[in-house]
Amino acid sequence: MKRYIFYHFLFCSAALIGVVSCNSQNKPVNNKNNSTTSNKVKTTSSNYTEGKDYVEFTRARVLDKVGFSQPVEAFSLLIPKTWKLDGDIMWTPPGTPCAGNNLRVKATSPDGKFIFEMLPNIAWNFDPQLGPPNQSQGNSEFCSYGAPMNAETYFKNVFARKELGNPEVISVNANPGGVQSIEENNAKSRQELMGYGASQVNYYTSAITANVKWTNGTEGIVLCGINILEGTIPNIYNGSSSKIFTTSASERSVFVFPAGERDKATNMLSVIMGSIRTNTAWKKTVDEFWLGVREQSNIAHIGRIKMNDDLTRQMGDNAIKKGQQNISNMDANMRSWEASQQSGDRIHTNFVKAIREVENYRDETGKIELSSGYDHAWSRSDGSSFIMSNNSSFDPSSVFVDQSWKEMQKVE
């Protein structure tokens, strides 16, 4: 039993490596130019309607308010400037089931008709040699017991039915970009697990994009990826081996919109997903902390020694101190970590490419990927404010009488 509990913790933790977490204040996200811009819209843009002729996006920076002695920016993303953003970063402490951190984020339009939501990653274990009563020990909100299944089966039988209100499934398509991104992250996990004693580690990856419809007439786009980890575990007592399976569901994203607004929703979803940026200093600190926890857990397992809580806290303090030193060096105005997309962020872009390709645009701050569904893009060259439009006569520098808006150029 001790053997199973250890590998249940270890495999679930490894399966959730790379989770991006978030937190935010429960209020609309506006930059300090919003009120001025809004007043100008009323007086100079009567011929143009926001949401129809153009969409203004602003970068919302979300905080980790749990893991550090003071709030730290964890990541950011572009959302329409009038939307409300709610989010939580969840820390499950070492020594408890499914130790690690996770996220839940939700962005909603003022009328509540458009909703973007990223749901927490989850994982479940399966050991053919143990019965369900034994395997259910150590279950939690995000880790449980169950047989492996691919992305389409999980979406239809679990995700849609239990978490999305059992909508009508219009279509389900494979998402090759999502599969590629998940597979790229598996090499690091495989190396770590084999270092802990797994004699062989295999992965089986799948991802889908689905279109759904609810009975109230609203529609939705759903993204989801599945990663099945098959680990062969040697028995040090009798020389035999057994297999343990851990299945993780990630990129569980949903975009809800009114019937007939699919093109608009697809364009906005593409901008949101492609704009996610992770604070590298924050992520490095968090990753180092959990790596230390897993390594110490492995030592405790081998020596049959209970993990020392004081040592765990000291590991956290050291990692956090190092991270805060890095974080304090960030430019408060233009965050360098937002200027370019890190490899870990590309998974979000690759997932959304299944429904809408992205194009590269450039302004004074550098290059950014935006939805190919828009013909024109403008920025204020502050890394935070963008306007997208398909109306060839719309020019925000004239409409808003604000010369800070410059049209961005498409580049390779």
Q: Encode pLDDT of 106-122 as tens digits.
A: 999 999 999 999 999 99
- Under the banding of pLDDT at 50, 70 and 90, the label for residue 362 is confident
The helix or strand, by DSSP H or E, that contains position 174, with its residue range, turns out to be strand 168-174
Residue whose token pair is 């007939």: 260
Mean pLDDT of 119-136: 77
- Under the banding of pLDDT at 50, 70 and 90, the label for residue 304 is very low
Tokens linked to 258: 């009114």
Whether 149 contacts 193, CB under 8 Å: no
Amino acid code (one letter) for 8: H
In sequence order, the β-bridge partners of residue 61 are 76
How much is the mean pLDDT over the chain?
A: 78
What percent of the chain has a predicted confidence (pLDDT) above 70? 68
The residue ranges of every structural domain in the chain are 2-303
SS3 string of 207-233?
A: EEEEEEECCCCCEEEEEEEEEEEEEEE
Mind listing the pLDDT tens digit for each residue in 10-35? 556 555 544 443 333 333 444 444 44
| pLDDT at residue 42, as a whole number | 42
pTM given for the model: 0.77
Q: How many CB atoms lie within 10 A of CB 168?
A: 11
Mean pLDDT of 63-89: 88
For 106, residues 6+ apart whose C-beta sits below 8 A from its C-beta are: 85, 86, 87, 115, 116, 117, 118
Kindly state the DSSP code that residue 383 receives in the 8-state scheme.
Answer: S
Helices 176-195 and 2-15, axial angle in degrees (round to 10): 140
- Under the banding of pLDDT at 50, 70 and 90, the label for residue 359 is confident
Mean pLDDT of 76-88: 92
Residue 259 confidence (pLDDT) above 90? yes
Task: Name the H helices within 304-379.
Answer: 309-328, 346-352
Q: Cα separations (Å) of 246 from 75, 154, 163?
A: 27, 14, 21
